[in-house]
Amino acid sequence: MTILATEGLSRRFPRVTALDRLTVTVGPGVTGLVGANGAGKSTLIKILLGLLEPSEGAAQVLGMDVTAQGAEIRRVVGYMPEHDCLPPDLSATEFTVHLARMSGLPRTAARERAADVLRHVGLYEERYRAMGGYSTGMKQRVKLAQALVHDPKLVFLDEPTNGLDPQGRDEMLALIRRIGTEFGISVLVTSHLLGELERICDHVIVIDGGTLLRSSAISEFTQTTRTVTVEVEEGRDVLAAHLAGLGETVTAAGRTLLVEVRAPETYDTVRDAVCDLDLSLIRMEQGRQRIEDVFREPADV
Ligand SMILES: Nc1ncnc2c1ncn2[C@@H]1O[C@H](COP(=O)(O)OP(=O)(O)OP(=O)(O)O)[C@@H](O)[C@H]1O
């Protein structure tokens, strides 16, 4: 099933080509859209919402054409914009109820629905306070709540972890994952931080300078590599020297060692070496390629 698709999609501004013949297809679930600042992520989202005209090419969202059916698309798609857009004198409740009413919900249903989504995003008593006094984390939560209030089938979240501290970031990522799994809403989420999307997405699209670098299932990004990560409590250097003496290729990486897996016996060699040296093994883990590595590989799309 296709949630959205673009075909040769370009958008030129007077001084810059923000999107350059982008062809990509997105299925259900949580999809990450990754790219550095200026890669074209927000431009793509605005085109998909029918808020910005493409210069060339075509795109469909939930089977609807973005140039002809923008209003219909916005009826069933939620949007969390990147930048702060909250009226400071309103409370989260007033704001979210207002947007629910604008989406066509009757007064009582709008109030109930707003209370529900504000609870889901983790805003409790604070929801009655003016938003001007909110922390960045609380503002991000209100922006997320208003994107969900009209019960969309799909949400576009533009840099939802921007400005959050590590704990706020983790909570936001967990919330986004729940939207995709428990609520069954498909999600397109952007970030310039590759590692964080790795944790919550089923599929990742990487763009750079408005062009597609790669689009694959997360499992393909993080496929196993031919190294094993070994961590011992103490004696990392002794173990490294011992393994090197046995002909293994070993690199130190922080507190761990990366051992090249030449043959299945490498695992036995590592285990035996740890035993022989009487070290405490914390973990032995198959190495996995990380999303970051995409940028170090030649593009294969
Ligand atoms: N309205 C506009 N007029 C002129 N240039 C624009 C406009 N909107 C975006 N751009 C340019 O298009 C390019 C892509 O911008 P876009 O906002 O889509 O990137 P992004 O990947 O979302 O990055 P960021 O996270 O920094 O917003 C940038 O070079 C930006 O300066």
Q: Which residue has the tokens 């990742």?
A: 204
User: How many other C-beta atoms lie within 10 A of the C-beta of residue 28?
Assistant: 17
- Ligand 1 contact, 29 CB (< 6 A): no
Residue 221, phi then psi, degrees to nearest 5: -70, -40
What is the Cα 232 distance to its own chain's centre?
A: 32
What is the rounded distance in angstroms from the CA atom of residue 206 to the CA atom of residue 217? 12
Can you tell me which atom of ligand 1 is nearest the CA of 207? 21
What is the Cα 59 distance to its own chain's centre?
A: 21
Residue 249, phi then psi, degrees to nearest 5: -95, 115
What is the rounded distance in angstroms from the CA atom of residue 1 to the CA atom of residue 206? 21
Residue 48, phi then psi, degrees to nearest 5: -65, -25
- Ligand 1 contact, 301 CB (< 6 A): no
- Ligand 1 contact, 152 CB (< 6 A): no
* Positive/negative CA dihedral, 79, 81, 82, 86: negative
- Ligand 1 contact, 39 CB (< 6 A): yes
User: How many other C-beta atoms lie within 10 A of the C-beta of residue 83?
Assistant: 9
Q: Helix crossing, 265-276 with 236-245: angle to 10°?
A: 130
State residue 124's pLDDT score. Answer: 86
CATH number listed for the domain at residues 4-221: 3.40.50.300
State residue 297's pLDDT score. Answer: 52
- Ligand 1 contact, 43 CB (< 6 A): yes
Calculate how far, in angstroms, residue 18's C-alpha sits from the geometric centre of ligand 1. Answer: 6
User: What b/e readout covers 137-154, taking b as 16+ CB neighbours within 10 angstroms?
Assistant: bbbbbbbbbbbbbbebeb
- Ligand 1 contact, 11 CB (< 6 A): no
How do the pLDDT tens digits run along the chain, 301 residues long? Answer: 899 999 999 999 999 999 999 999 999 999 999 988 889 999 999 999 999 999 999 999 999 999 999 999 999 999 999 988 899 999 999 999 999 999 999 999 999 999 999 999 999 889 999 999 999 999 999 999 999 999 999 999 999 999 898 889 999 999 999 999 888 899 999 998 777 888 899 999 999 989 998 898 887 766 666 888 899 999 999 999 999 999 999 999 888 899 998 888 899 999 999 999 999 999 888 766 555 555 555 444 3
State residue 300's pLDDT score. Answer: 42
- Most informative mutation of 9, 11, 43, 45 for ligand 1 (most atoms within 8 A of CB): 43
State residue 283's pLDDT score. Answer: 86
State residue 219's pLDDT score. Answer: 75
CATH of 224-296 among 3.90.1720.10, 3.90.1210.10, 3.30.70.100, 3.40.50.1980: 3.30.70.100
Query: Are 180 and 29 contacting, i.e. CB atoms less than 8 angstroms apart?
Result: yes
State residue 292's pLDDT score. Answer: 57
Calculate how far, in angstroms, residue 212's C-alpha sits from the geometric centre of ligand 1. Answer: 16
Q: Helix crossing, 92-102 with 107-120: angle to 10°?
A: 130
- Most informative mutation of 10, 11, 16 for ligand 1 (most atoms within 8 A of CB): 16
- Ligand 1 contact, 160 CB (< 6 A): no
- Ligand 1 contact, 18 CB (< 6 A): yes
User: In which residue ranges of the chain is CATH 3.30.70.100 found?
Assistant: 224-296
- Most informative mutation of 12, 13, 19 for ligand 1 (most atoms within 8 A of CB): 13
User: In which residue ranges of the chain is CATH 3.40.50.300 found?
Assistant: 4-221
Interface confidence (ipTM) of the complex:
0.95
Can you tell me which atom of ligand 1 is nearest the CA of 43? 18
What pTM, to 2 d.p., does this model score? 0.79
What is the Cα 134 distance to its own chain's centre?
A: 24
